[in-house]
Amino acid sequence: MKRCKTDLRVCRQLIEALLFENLLSCTEKEAGGGILHFHIPLKDAVLHCSGKRGAFGRIRIEGDSMRLEKGTNSEAITLDTLLNSADFPSSFSLELKQTKKLTQWNEQHLTQPEKRSSLSYEELESAIWEGHPYHPCFKSRTGFSLEDHEHYGPEAGNQFALVWLACPKKEVRRSFSNEELFWKKEIGQVYDELMERLVKKGGQRSQYSLIPVHPWQWKAVCDKVKGAIFLGEAAESYRATQSIRTLWNTERSEKAHIKLPMNLTHTSSIRTIAPPAAAAAPAISEWLSSIVKADPLLSITTVLEEYASACWEPAECDVHPGEIGVIFRESPRSVLAAGEEAVPLNACSLTEGNGKLFIENWLKQYGVEKWLKQLIQIVIIPIWHFLVRHGIALEAHAQNVVLIVKDGWPAGMAVRDFHDSIEYVESFLTEPEKAPRFWAIHPDFKKGKPDEFYWMSSVEGLRELVIDTLFVFHFTELSNALEQKGILGESLFWSWVEDALAEYEQEHPELESRIKEIDYRKKWIQAEALLSQKIAPSKPIYHTVVNVFADER
């Protein structure tokens, strides 16, 4: 049976995640040269494959090595044969099949550029097709038809207009007080046009608040909406970024990126926006920005502020909280200086259509060691400093970090997406009095317990978030790609990271006790079990992995 490239990738990432999270029993045998043979008993077959364990114990399977053995028969694996030999929840199997279907559509209908490193930031958001490098449901987008995928997915690069609702003002929680002033700044004369539509439909301007809605989302929720007035399409055109629900303005790329809820599941979570998180977004951005502006070590770091939000929380309606809302975030384009360009950090580990690494020309231009050590200083050290010096853990996974380059040289970093992705322990904050007063922002925060929202119960949880997102699921992709391309050994890359963290510690003796409390050199650390949460929700949400920074390994 002929296997497609997508089949291989979905199966490979599924097996890698199952083994990494210890969800399958497995026998390993060394084959020399760091290669391992894995023998995995399934429901009615045995899966054989080869690969290795990389940094933090990440499993790397050679796709062509996967074979299913049933009695005396042995066959190359496909997604269908793998699903038939395993016991997965039906919903999970459907997500895997959807991932395969949408990825195959991309391969059949789109042409990937041979070289993406010369593209603008905005075009890169469409040209990065790969999706999550670890999660097997990297393009699940539940609820998307092929037509939806073509029209609203980032890969095809289609433009579309937003639709607008006028929601009862008393049911809308928004971060701005003067609605007319805010909307005229954001959408100009279109505001007056929408108000005219509202009046013609019997609404009073003083009684309603505007909220934009993703057109796909409107189809999903329109039958449930009661009490709001539909105003139709208006304003400028948008395109989807990699995150699907975050959109960029195609007519004015310096304008805000707009984040809108969508009732679809992608990788590990449903992509709605919790009202408390939307309400807290501007306060969190203001908090982080004030820290960056006051700290010289963070001078190369920019916070892409989520400066405004609105969320409809209807009293009597079948629309659930989080299904209608919006967050406005500064565009990377708006913070670039002359000669600078923005690059989604996950691009750095990708392979181009010509077989070269995305960053390969930059590595040749400046030297492998020089460029990578600069990257470490630009990205890793500021995020580490946020944790050690300020006591704030940023969820710095690949899509949350934007690398700023000048002629290919790492010159700065922009961080984003904070409304549901920062953590702190109040006693570990250097300036706890400057943290947002969340209980005054949304009533749900008043009854929030530690580990439920932003405030954690232990510093260990902060370390887990930073090492997990920044290292285990992020920079391991770069270190593995460098080794696979024969550019740099993975262990050498991580020794450079370790040297940079040690140098930071030496340069800041006043932070010695805080670094000891973080205890990042433990032999075993916790990583989030991304797959377990989908197929075995009764299992712990974390699993233990080996730490590349351990004093004893």
What is the distance between the alpha carbons of residues 336 and 429, in angstroms, rounded to a whole number? Answer: 30
pLDDT at residue 44 tops 60: yes
Q: Give the angle subtended at the CA of 234 by the CAs of 232 and 240, to the nearest 5°.
A: 105
pLDDT band at residue 270 under the 50/70/90 scheme: confident
pLDDT at residue 227 tops 70: yes
Using one digit for the tens of pLDDT, what is the confidence trace for 1-15?
A: 445 789 999 999 999
Sequential DSSP letters for 256-317: PEEE---S-EETTEE----HHHHHHHHHHHHHHHHHHHH-GGGTTEEE--EEEEEEE--SS-
Average pLDDT over residues 63-84: 90
Q: Which candidate, 547, 403, 538, 372, places its Cα nearest to that of 466?
A: 547
Domain parsing of the chain, residue ranges? 5-87, 153-329, 343-546
Three-state SS sequence of 62-109:
CHHHCEEEECCEEEECCHHHHHHCCCCCHHHHHHHHHHHHHHHHHHHH
pTM of the model: 0.95
Specify the pLDDT at position 4: 72
Tokens, residue 125: 């958001």
Specify the pLDDT at position 3: 54
pLDDT at residue 184 tops 70: yes
pLDDT at residue 23 tops 60: yes
Residues above pLDDT 70, as percent of the chain: 99
pLDDT at residue 462 tops 90: yes
Q: Do 5-87 and 343-546 agree at the fold level?
A: no
Is 343-546 assigned to CATH 1.10.510.40?
yes
pLDDT band at residue 409 under the 50/70/90 scheme: very high
Specify the pLDDT at position 405: 97
Pick the CATH number of 5-87 from 3.20.20.70, 3.40.50.280, 3.30.428.10, 3.30.310.280: 3.30.310.280
Please give the sequence-ordered ranges of beta strands (E in DSSP) within 447-531, or none if there are none.
524-528
Specify the pLDDT at position 552: 67
3-state secondary structure of 361: helix
Beta-ladder partners of 424: 392, 455
Using one digit for the tens of pLDDT, what is the confidence trace for 84-102?
A: 999 899 999 999 999 999 9
Torsion of CA 368, 374, 375, 378, to 10 degrees: 180
Q: Which candidate, 326, 324, 328, places its Cα nearest to that of 168?
A: 324
